[in-house]
Amino acid sequence: MGRDLHPLSLHFVMFIPTIQGQTDDEQLDEWLGLAISRGIIGTYAQTELGHGTNLKNLETTATYDPKTEEFIINSPTITSTKWWPGALGKSSNYAIVVAQLYTQGVCRGPHPFIVQLRDLETHKPLKGIRVGDIGPKFGFNSSDNGFLLFDHYRIPRNHMLMRHSKVEKDGTFIAPKHAKLGYGTMVFVRSIMTKDQATQLACAACIATRYSAIRRQGEIKEGSGEVQILDYQTQQFRVFPQLARAFAFMFAAYEIRDLYMEVTEQLNHGNTDLLPEIHALSSGLKAIVTWECAQGIEQCRMACGGHGYSLASAFPEIYAFVVGGCTYEGENIVMLLQVARFLMKAAEEVRSGKARLAAICGYLGKADSAHSRLTTWDSYSDADIVHDFEHVARKQVFRAYDALKRHQRETSPEEAWNRASVELCKASRMHVRLYLVRNFLQKVATAPDASLRAPLTDLTRLYAFDMITACQGEFMKGGFMSETQIDAVKEGIYKCLERIRPNAVSLVDSWDFDDDELHSVLGRRDGNVYPALLEWAQNSQLNRTEVLPTFKKYLGPMMKDGRSKL
Amino acid sequence: MGRDLHPLSLHFVMFIPTIQGQTDDEQLDEWLGLAISRGIIGTYAQTELGHGTNLKNLETTATYDPKTEEFIINSPTITSTKWWPGALGKSSNYAIVVAQLYTQGVCRGPHPFIVQLRDLETHKPLKGIRVGDIGPKFGFNSSDNGFLLFDHYRIPRNHMLMRHSKVEKDGTFIAPKHAKLGYGTMVFVRSIMTKDQATQLACAACIATRYSAIRRQGEIKEGSGEVQILDYQTQQFRVFPQLARAFAFMFAAYEIRDLYMEVTEQLNHGNTDLLPEIHALSSGLKAIVTWECAQGIEQCRMACGGHGYSLASAFPEIYAFVVGGCTYEGENIVMLLQVARFLMKAAEEVRSGKARLAAICGYLGKADSAHSRLTTWDSYSDADIVHDFEHVARKQVFRAYDALKRHQRETSPEEAWNRASVELCKASRMHVRLYLVRNFLQKVATAPDASLRAPLTDLTRLYAFDMITACQGEFMKGGFMSETQIDAVKEGIYKCLERIRPNAVSLVDSWDFDDDELHSVLGRRDGNVYPALLEWAQNSQLNRTEVLPTFKKYLGPMMKDGRSKL
């Protein structure tokens, strides 16, 4: 639930897992106990000032010197400065450093090394190390994200993590047996991220919904008093889709975690069939969920008017935290293009008649239908909805595929990819949205408590209809949906808003956020918003003194001077 | 260019203009000189904790006591606390306070009073006044936005601003001659806001474009080195539309300022014909421009990856400043609904054959065409583009109108309005977007320097095409545009991106922002980004000491303890 990093977050999330996964047995004995007992604190230093996305061009070097049996870690340029690792600036005395391994005069690509940065007793940086905080950020300001520079800093040979690659005493490099590792971990991290992000969107939706039931402004019936702003259709249209998304994304997070378990089980039996598909799905989910959560949070914030702009609302903190997720753990556009790589392979297989598609992509091999089966919004079945999203996703995947092929006839494969990339991203988005809507419908349809299905079904409809109208052009292309059908979808939205209204507060209460977790004056469970806002304001740092020192120094003399002139 | 408020901002922007516009002659003599010489510092206190949008329900009271010839200003509830005024918390010693005027036992509605808050010499709050800072916000944190409570605080009768309404010594209330005043000022303030917002979007586009020309990441042609990220289609698609918007919005801001001058001139001759239309347009522009600027700034920020998240980029400060504009000076949804009121009147006139529409709304009276005249993107003329945007705006205005009429047959006018409100907002958006695209095309077509027309024309196309694809469904409805035509628009986008690429840096340089104004390490004119980032980081507060005091207190003992257990 936190919206920042603890000084030991990276130690537990990255440093220890890397030791567990990438050391040989001897190294494991040397480091794991020390790390677990918190005898040292470590972080993970990979990203550099000049390179994040393109890891193979990282510039930090680790050059093996067989004479002393040491690696010389060096930062040859300013752009090679390690940049961003959490807790690197001031807290950590160790780090896993990813550097280009040079041995016997040959570059062997990026490898991980365990490096001591600060003296264990004095905590001062060791000679050859320059380390510090990178300064304030949009969010995460309790975290000392750091920079790190090496000046020909020497570490023993056995500080290279040698589970996979090895460097022998004489400098001989031994390549790893398996080239592609770590996909599973990425899937896991992204499933956690999806859940965290969905939770924060839920917090935002909870705050906005509760406050909109407290806030009264304007009249709908003259003379009958001001109404709860949650009664305005425009307010419902801002807030309720976020509520629906929060549920949809949480269900997706649970599903992808289960899939991860399944894949891990399969991997243990040497079966890698599902891995590419799950990896693509988790990348795509990460991109869609982080961005839609961020957008949704801003809608919730603005739905609370001026008070949403105060830090008392918690929205600014929620937004800054969540929107960071669009960038870290894989920039979203890069993620979408990864998904597209996978989708283009699948499209190729379908076109060449060699399709061997697993469940999530099965729709790519299905035959097209001429029309949506929608008649009225309330008779539009789960199966029909999924059918229509499949149609639109399939169309876009093959539209991107055809664009790519067309460009490939005119230019190099790389430039063709670049020229098709906006269409490719769109294909990835539709693929992920299809997954999200299908999973949401399925989870609600099979909810163990049948009494929950009616209110949740309204949310699934709102979720699906909102997406359809947001990209209605895609649904209308080729006459797949008529204008009348689009009108039926819109009617469905307005009816769902009305139906969700009486359940809205109960729905957000169902998440059972503690006031301390929510950390929002506007979102208080007891609804006692206004006295609490006034109380919160008293704690403003500026209110510690009634008259600020600046009055004596500047304002007072300025005004006195002004008055004396009259 | 600033992204915060100066302690005297409200004094000059609200306090003095209110004195100029709302005092009688005697009051003007008493207060104007004092305010202009800065002998006192004032602000404008209208919004309360419980009421912003619905001014007529403000709760602060000003009750006239004929015995002492004083008003008693009082805050009867917590929700009546004045909240948000800039410089109220600590800087101002005076305020214009808007309160419900009670005289002879009757409420006369909200009126402005000039009220002393703090002692001139000691700056301490006067007896009966409770005033302070409202605490930290998303942005504007140099400003002491304040709260203010009155406990039966007495002011002389002549502290009510009496240019329009008056209260005589015996308590007789004299109503103003003209009920609707101040529309012109609102138009003016919103034209200034539009320009400020567009300027900040331009700053963001400038930073993102320059940095994208410096940043290299990944290869398009293998072996030929890493490319400037501005060469990626996805990056262009993120950043260039923001560049186009910045120009479009600036041109709109200039146009609305000129229209304001024209209207003011007409008002001086007693002609109020244009006022409602201009007022509606300025409200709509405020809503569209603030939101699209905010969205565009976030796209620019994310296009800069992790470095965009650092305060060094200036993006967080730009975003927090601009997105506030979606809420203050009229919440955006409320603004759009105001525009819709005007549009519904215009639609009513057209349907009843009584149309007397001025230029901006003239399109509502035009006959429908069956199809767009678009064939290829590069032969799509200004006139054709405007024609098509007019078609889509007109369709949506009448769609909303018909929905409103349909609901009116079923329920009360107020509830009918509520049920149609999402459609009404959509109509307002299309109306404003038509205005923006028409004005942008016109301004570029008539640019005095013909050599600028080619690069700017690419931007007008990108701007128009991007909007068309974003709401392609609206353009496809009724077969107005075919799928082939939509494909032509999409091709136009990709071609425009290619054509803008070589001019992009020059275009953002043309705004001639000073590095100090831009205030962004990423957006430096000299492009020397990486050394400057490293230097900027050195100034982080955390870097003032090499080892933080927390090491001795917590981290050191914890690690020592951890090591001793092994």
- CATH number of A489's domain: 1.20.140.10
Inter-chain touch A7–B555, beta carbons under 8 Å: yes
B533: chain A residues, CB-CB within 8 Å: 49, 83
Domain boundary among B165, B193, B209: B165
Q: Do B133 and B214 belong together in one domain?
A: no
Mutate to test the interface with B, among A117, A131, A233, A494 (most CBs of B within 10 A): A233
Residue B61 is given by DSSP the state: E
Q: Tell which B residues from 370 to 409 touch A, by Cβ distance under 8 Å.
A: none
Length of chain B, in residues: 566
User: What pLDDT digit, counting tens, does each position of B96-119 carry?
Assistant: 999 999 999 999 999 999 999 999
User: What pLDDT digit, counting tens, does each position of B166-203 carry?
Assistant: 999 999 999 987 655 566 778 888 888 999 999 999 99
**% of chain A at pLDDT higher than 90:** 87
B39: chain A residues, CB-CB within 8 Å: 559, 562-563, 565-566
Let me know: does A120 contact B558? Beta carbons within 8 Å: no
User: What pLDDT digit, counting tens, does each position of B230-242 carry?
Assistant: 999 999 999 999 9
Let me know: does A373 contact A482? Beta carbons within 8 Å: no
Q: How many domains does chain A have?
A: 2
Q: Do A146 and A248 belong together in one domain?
A: no
Going by pLDDT thresholds of 50, 70 and 90, the confidence category of residue B410 is very high
Quick check: is A390 catalytic?
no
In a domain, B513, yes or no: no
A556: chain B residues, CB-CB within 8 Å: 121, 123
User: What is the model's pLDDT at position A188?
Assistant: 83
What integer best gives the mean pLDDT of chain B? 95
pTM for this one?
Answer: 0.97
**Mean per-residue pLDDT, A172-184:** 74
Residue A179 is given by DSSP the state: S
Inter-chain touch B327–A414, beta carbons under 8 Å: no
User: What is the model's pLDDT at position B264?
Assistant: 83
In a domain, A462, yes or no: yes
Which of the following is catalytic: A70, A168, A329, A331?
A329
Please give the annotated binding residues of A for FAD, written as ranges.
Answer: 47, 86
Q: Does B224 touch chain A (CB under 8 A)?
A: no
Catalytic site residues of B?
A: 329
Going by pLDDT thresholds of 50, 70 and 90, the confidence category of residue A276 is confident
In a domain, A552, yes or no: no
Q: Do B270 and B241 belong together in one domain?
A: yes
Q: Does A548 touch chain B (CB under 8 A)?
A: yes
**Mean per-residue pLDDT, B120-136:** 98
CA–CA distance, B302 with A479 (Å, rounded to integer): 36
**% of chain A at pLDDT higher than 70:** 98
Inter-chain touch A135–B537, beta carbons under 8 Å: yes
Inter-chain touch B326–A302, beta carbons under 8 Å: yes
Chain A nearest CA to B214, separation (Å) = 10
Q: Do B302 and B270 belong together in one domain?
A: yes
Counting one residue from chain A and one from chain B, the pairs whose CB atoms sit within 8 A come to: 314
User: What pLDDT digit, counting tens, does each position of A461-520 carry?
Assistant: 999 999 999 999 999 999 999 999 999 999 999 999 999 999 999 999 999 999 999 999
| DSSP H helices in A165-232 | 183-214
Q: Do B148 and B192 belong together in one domain?
A: no
In a domain, A548, yes or no: no
Phi, psi of B298 (to 5 degrees): -65, -35
From the number of C-beta atoms within 10 Å of its C-beta (0-12, 13-18, 19+), residue B432 rates as buried
CA–CA distance, A367 with A485 (Å, rounded to integer): 22
Question: At how many degrees (to 10) do helices B382-410 and B453-470 cross?
Answer: 30
Tokens 């049920």 belong to which residue?
Answer: B419
Torsion of CA A250, A254, A256, A258, to 10 degrees: 180
User: What is the model's pLDDT at position B180?
Assistant: 54
Q: Do B416 and B284 belong together in one domain?
A: yes
Tell me: pLDDT of A181 over 90. Answer: no
Tell me: pLDDT of A180 over 80. Answer: no
Nearest to A135 among B138, B311, B473 (CB): B311
Inter-chain touch A234–B337, beta carbons under 8 Å: yes
In a domain, B136, yes or no: yes
Q: Do B386 and B239 belong together in one domain?
A: yes
Phi, psi of B146 (to 5 degrees): -125, 170
Q: Do A156 and A243 belong together in one domain?
A: no
Report the relative pairing of strands A61-65 and A94-103 from DSSP bridges.
Answer: parallel
User: What pLDDT digit, counting tens, does each position of A318-366 carry?
Assistant: 999 999 999 999 999 999 999 999 999 999 999 998 877 667 889 999 9
Let me know: does B494 contact A423? Beta carbons within 8 Å: no
3-state helix, strand, coil in chain A (%, to 5): 60, 10, 30
Tell me: pLDDT of B462 over 60. Answer: yes
* Domain span including residue B307: 185-353+381-440+454-505
CA–CA distance, B301 with B298 (Å, rounded to integer): 5
3-state helix, strand, coil in chain B (%, to 5): 60, 10, 30
CA–CA distance, A363 with A369 (Å, rounded to integer): 12
| Two structure tokens written together for A107 | 């570059």
Tokens 């931007």 belong to which residue?
Answer: B459
Phi, psi of A34 (to 5 degrees): -60, -40
User: What pLDDT digit, counting tens, does each position of B25-59 carry?
Assistant: 999 999 999 999 999 999 999 999 999 988 899 99
User: What is the model's pLDDT at position A358?
Assistant: 65
Q: Tell which A residues from 425 to 484 touch B, by Cβ distance under 8 Å.
A: 425, 469, 471-473, 475-478, 483
Nearest Cα to Cα of residue A499 among A551, A455, A466, A439: A455
Nearest Cα to Cα of residue B18 among B196, B193, B162: B162
Q: Do B141 and B268 belong together in one domain?
A: no
Residue type, A483: E
- Cα distances from B240 to residues A131, A414, A457, B330, in angstroms, run 37, 22, 40, 29
Length of chain A, in residues: 566
Chain A nearest CA to B121, separation (Å) = 7
Q: Do B429 and B283 belong together in one domain?
A: yes
Domain boundary among B505, B520, B540: B505
Tell me: pLDDT of B222 over 80. Answer: no
Residue type, B346: A
Q: Does A70 touch chain B (CB under 8 A)?
A: no
A7: chain B residues, CB-CB within 8 Å: 555
Inter-chain touch B418–A233, beta carbons under 8 Å: yes
Residue A121: CB atoms within 10 Å = 9
* Cα B29–chain centre separation: 34
User: What is the model's pLDDT at position B181?
Assistant: 53
Q: Do B267 and B312 belong together in one domain?
A: yes
User: What pLDDT digit, counting tens, does each position of A33-89 carry?
Assistant: 999 999 999 999 999 999 998 889 999 999 999 999 999 999 999 999 999 999 999
Going by pLDDT thresholds of 50, 70 and 90, the confidence category of residue A178 is low
- Cα distances from B403 to residues A482, B203, B408, B548, in angstroms, run 19, 41, 9, 64
In a domain, A540, yes or no: no
Nearest to B234 among A49, A421, A473 (CB): A421
* Cα A95–chain centre separation: 24
Tell me: pLDDT of B135 over 70. Answer: yes
Q: Does B358 touch chain A (CB under 8 A)?
A: no
Tell me: pLDDT of B358 over 80. Answer: no
Residue A2, C-beta contacts closer than 8 angstroms, at least 6 positions apart: none
Going by pLDDT thresholds of 50, 70 and 90, the confidence category of residue B220 is confident
User: What is the model's pLDDT at position B221?
Assistant: 82
In a domain, A124, yes or no: yes
Please give the annotated binding residues of B for FAD, written as ranges.
Answer: 47, 86
Burial B60-94 (b: 16+ CB within 10 A, else e): bbbbbeeeeebbbbbbeebbbbbbbbbbbbbbbbb
Q: Does B70 touch chain A (CB under 8 A)?
A: no
Q: Does B531 touch chain A (CB under 8 A)?
A: yes
ipTM: 0.96
User: What pLDDT digit, counting tens, does each position of A22-42 carry?
Assistant: 999 999 999 999 999 999 999
Nearest to A326 among B81, B221, B302 (CB): B302
Tell me: pLDDT of A307 over 80. Answer: yes
User: What pLDDT digit, counting tens, does each position of A196-234 carry?
Assistant: 999 999 999 999 999 999 999 998 887 889 999 999 999
CA–CA distance, B157 with B255 (Å, rounded to integer): 43
User: What is the model's pLDDT at position B1?
Assistant: 52
Query: Three-state DSSP class for A98?
Result: strand
**% of chain B at pLDDT higher than 70:** 98
Q: Do A74 and A189 belong together in one domain?
A: no
| Two structure tokens written together for A77 | 């340029």
CA–CA distance, A336 with B541 (Å, rounded to integer): 37
Q: What is the CATH number of the domain that holds A15?
A: 2.40.110.10
| Two structure tokens written together for B521 | 């390490």
Q: Does A335 touch chain B (CB under 8 A)?
A: no
Nearest to A414 among B52, B221, B323 (CB): B221
User: What is the model's pLDDT at position A37?
Assistant: 97
Let me know: does A128 contact A151? Beta carbons within 8 Å: yes
What integer best gives the mean pLDDT of chain A? 95
Tell me: pLDDT of A264 over 90. Answer: no
Cite the beta strand spans of B66-156 per DSSP E: 70-74, 82-83, 94-103, 106-116, 129-133, 146-150, 153-156
Nearest to A37 among B49, B220, B565 (CB): B565
Tell me: pLDDT of B319 over 60. Answer: yes
Query: Three-state DSSP class for B216?
Result: strand
Q: Does A153 touch chain B (CB under 8 A)?
A: no
In a domain, A102, yes or no: yes
Going by pLDDT thresholds of 50, 70 and 90, the confidence category of residue A405 is very high
